[in-house]
Amino acid sequence: MAVRYEDVLASMSPESQARIAEAAARLKADHQTFLELRDADASTRETPEFRAKLAVLPEEYRAELLRQEAERAGLDGLRKRVEALGGKLKITAEFPDGASLVIEEE
């Protein structure tokens, strides 16, 4: 027998329901920001507003944006050539706040 999400949620305390609603709202906002940044054109990507939004985006979204950007930039072909030579392509992005992000294809 299947259990409905609404039934499980209704059985939780109001505090738990509020925490779940807040987490869902954060995830939805992060995803919306991700979509906005993903679809930005090249001139928009150079603005401080773009960088500010990117800085607060969770790491998994930043990694996906950078992976997609690498594909668009033609790095997919470079990765294939490096692998043909027995190597592995790894890209490291370093941000002004000192954070870094390593993109590796598994």
As a whole number of angstroms, the distance between CA 33 and CA 50 comes to 10
Cα 12 to chain center, whole Å?
A: 30
Q: pLDDT (tens digit, 0 to 9) for every residue of the chain, 106 residues total?
A: 888 988 998 999 999 999 999 999 999 999 999 888 888 887 888 888 988 888 888 888 888 888 887 777 777 777 787 888 888 888 888 888 888 888 776 5
CA dist 22 and 66 (Å) reads 27
Burial class (CB in 10 A: 0-12, 13-18, 19+), 66: middle
DSSP-assigned states of every residue in 23-82: HHHHHHHHHHHHHHHHT--TTGGGSHHHHHHHHHS-HHHHHHHHHHHHHHTTHHHHHHHH
- Domain limits, the chain: 1-57, 65-106
